[in-house]
Amino acid sequence: MRRPRPAVVVLALSLTALGTAGVVTGATLVAAGSAPGVDGSVGARPLGVATAAAAPSTRTPSTTPANVVGAPFRELPQTPPGPVVPPVRVSIPSLGVRSDVVPTGVDRDGTTQIPEDVDVLGWYRYGPAPRDSGSTVIVGHRDGRGQGRGALYALGALSVGDPIRVTLADGSRVDYRVVAREVLDKQAVPLEDIFARSGGRVLSLISCGGVYDRARGGYQANVLVTAVPV
Amino acid sequence: MTSASRTRRAALLVALAVPSALVLAAGPAQAADAATVSVLHAIPTGSGADVVDVYAGDALLIDNFTPGTLKTLEVPAGTYDLGVYADGETPAADTPVLEAKGVAVPAGANATVTANLTAAGAPALNVFINDTSKTAAGQARVTVRHIAAAPAVDVRVNGNVAFSDLTNPNEVKTDLAAASYQADVVLAGTDTVAIGPATLDLAEGTNTIVYAWGSAEAGNLALATQVISGLHSTPAAVDAGDGSSQSGLPGWVLGVAVLAAVGAAGAGVRLATTRA
């Protein structure tokens, strides 16, 4: 266990000296108080705690009636996440696609993990499932060496209004219709929106498109199809 | 309440020496002038604080607070005098069991106040800043806080020592792949298990804070858990294809080829039409 860092304590005190909270930026605090050590862990301690025994009380017992918690304090509910029902199959009639869906995560390089089998689609398992608020992200390779075209090869040919059906692990289904189809330069892909974990329920289907330029990292664009529950 | 326990409780009065104890890190998704403060009751049953009321100034913050429970509140930014009182007692009329005066709570702050035992077994209040900085996509954060009347410990994760020599009232933390882990707490440098093993489900984009609390002497060491969610980040990109369907030629070459073919076909048709 490392000892507390003097810099943290000094910062804390100086921040308080500023007085009003509005002046204090949390980002500064986080940066100063949470700098990871070389071993990936941080030694920290609660700030400024001391104990002192006081003289025994000579009070008489209180007869004050029970109080009620009220404004300005608000207790935040402890809501454990509900059961997640993952998608297991995607059907896109207008493309002749019927593909299995497996849960995926993140590759070592921080990019979205995509099933090696180009016929199989991946559901970003850290984000919402179709019955949850937010964006359900399903990805698939456009192509793969020795495998030919992937299930989402023709994603860019979908039209607004086309139906998409997603089957969930419990056998239930969610029907969507396409509301947008975009080909986005990889530098301009709105990842925050696509991977949103709150807001309206949408399905985001993503593959690659545009020019394939090996020297510049492969496909230069993403094809994004957005669909909403019917 | 019996007079015996009242005397004991009064003897536990604690004051924070540094009035600025609560200086907090910003959390996501908060009202502009609000802060998040959690309070953990981690003084074991039978230590003189079995049922307490927590006050901020004269206002009741938590009613009928019992050992092992955690409450999370949204509070306006400001400076508070926190007091822990025996059930039914009030700041106006009574002396607190524990108190922390002049606690500064900046807007956007996220902290946890623990009422716990020191290593030596005396009740105390501690203030911990919760790390609400973003986690990388696919990662989770785990924070372990030692607030038990117990000596230094090691924390083992999946059988290996992940954190060593953790003492009360300190914390350790790290970010790691979101997954389910087996964890236990052993006396530092030994294989003597003090708590656990327990399964830790570290969800992606969360800071899971594990408190080791209770008393080794009383044999009631336990774990309490607090989860702060919403710290996730997006993946860096979606790289979905290796270009193998593109015949090794740049896309524009293919495009030109297609256009040329279409043009030739069209010319052929026109020619045929003319001939007809």
Residue B251 belongs to some domain of the structure: no
CB contact under 8 A, B240 and A34: no
Distance CA A177, CA B128 (A): 48
Q: Residues B80, B143: one domain?
A: no
Residue B123 belongs to some domain of the structure: yes
Best mutation target among B204, B242, B252 (most A Cβ atoms within 10 Å) is B242
* B39 in A contact zone (CB under 8 Å): no
Helix (H), strand (E) at residue A13 = helix A6-17
Q: Are B113 and B89 in contact (CB under 8 A)?
A: no
* B73 in A contact zone (CB under 8 Å): yes
Q: With beta carbons under 8 A apart, name residues in chain A contacting B63.
A: 66-69
Distance CA A120, CA A152 (A): 9
Best mutation target among B20, B22, B23 (most A Cβ atoms within 10 Å) is B23
Q: With beta carbons under 8 A apart, name residues in chain B contacting A133.
A: none
CATH of the domain at B208: 2.60.40
Distance CA B38, CA B112 (A): 5
Helix %, strand %, coil % of chain A (to 5)? 15, 35, 50
Instruction: Compute the average pLDDT of residues B27-54.
Output: 84
ipTM rounded to 2 decimals: 0.74
Which position has the higher pLDDT, A136 or A21? A136
Residue B8 belongs to some domain of the structure: yes
Q: How far is CA B261 from the centre of its chain?
A: 62
Which residue range is the domain that position B148 belongs to? Answer: 133-235
Q: Which residues belong to CATH 2.40.260.10 in chain A?
A: 87-229
Residue B211 belongs to some domain of the structure: yes
* B71 in A contact zone (CB under 8 Å): yes
Q: Residues B187, B74: one domain?
A: no
User: Model's pTM, two decimal places?
Assistant: 0.75
CB contact under 8 A, B15 and A52: yes
Alpha helices (H) in chain B, listed in sequence order: 3-10, 251-275
Distance CA B87, CA B209 (A): 28
Residue B151, both tokens: 């000596």
Looking at the partner chain, which of B1, B17, B232 has a beta carbon nearest the beta carbon of A48? Answer: B17
CB contact under 8 A, A222 and B243: no
Q: What contacts B231, CB < 8 A, 6 or more positions away?
A: B28, B132, B133, B134, B135, B141, B205, B206, B207
If you measure CA to CA, which chain A residue comes closest to B164?
A1
In the prediction, which pLDDT does B32 show? 63
In the prediction, which pLDDT does B34 show? 92
Confidence band of A68 (pLDDT split at 50, 70, 90): low
Residue B253 belongs to some domain of the structure: no
Q: Residues B74, B32: one domain?
A: yes
Q: Residues B25, B115: one domain?
A: yes
Q: Residues B88, B137: one domain?
A: no
CB contact under 8 A, B243 and A152: no
pLDDT at A16 over 90: no
Residue B106 belongs to some domain of the structure: yes
Which is it for strands B109-117 and B78-86: parallel, antiparallel or unpaired? unpaired
In the prediction, which pLDDT does B260 show? 52
Confidence band of B31 (pLDDT split at 50, 70, 90): low
pLDDT at B166 over 90: yes
Residue B137 belongs to some domain of the structure: yes
CB contact under 8 A, B129 and A72: no
pLDDT at B151 over 60: yes
Domain count, chain B: 2
Query: How far is the CA of B162 from the CAs of B182, B191, B213, in angstroms?
Result: 11, 14, 19
pLDDT at B153 over 90: yes
Q: Residues B5, B104: one domain?
A: yes
Q: Residues B14, B126: one domain?
A: yes
Confidence band of B241 (pLDDT split at 50, 70, 90): confident
Q: Residues B154, B80: one domain?
A: no
CB contact under 8 A, B60 and A74: no
Looking at the partner chain, which of B13, B76, B171 has a beta carbon nearest the beta carbon of A54? Answer: B13
Secondary-structure class of domain A87-229 per CATH = mainly beta
Which position has the higher pLDDT, A60 or A18? A60
Mean pLDDT of chain A: 75
CA-based nearest distance A179→chain B, Å: 21
Looking at the partner chain, which of B25, B59, B164 has a beta carbon nearest the beta carbon of A26? Answer: B25
Which of A162-176, B25-39, B62-76, B216-230 comes out lowest in average pLDDT? Answer: B25-39
Q: With beta carbons under 8 A apart, name residues in chain B contacting A183.
A: none
* B247 in A contact zone (CB under 8 Å): no
The DSSP letter of residue A157 is: G
- From B110, B130, B150, give the residue that closes a domain: B130
Looking at the partner chain, which of B36, B95, B252 has a beta carbon nearest the beta carbon of A59? Answer: B95
Best mutation target among B168, B238, B256 (most A Cβ atoms within 10 Å) is B238
pLDDT at B220 over 70: yes
CB contact under 8 A, B243 and A219: yes
In the prediction, which pLDDT does B221 show? 95
Q: How far is CA B126 from the centre of its chain?
A: 15
Residue B41 belongs to some domain of the structure: yes
CB contact under 8 A, A47 and B22: yes
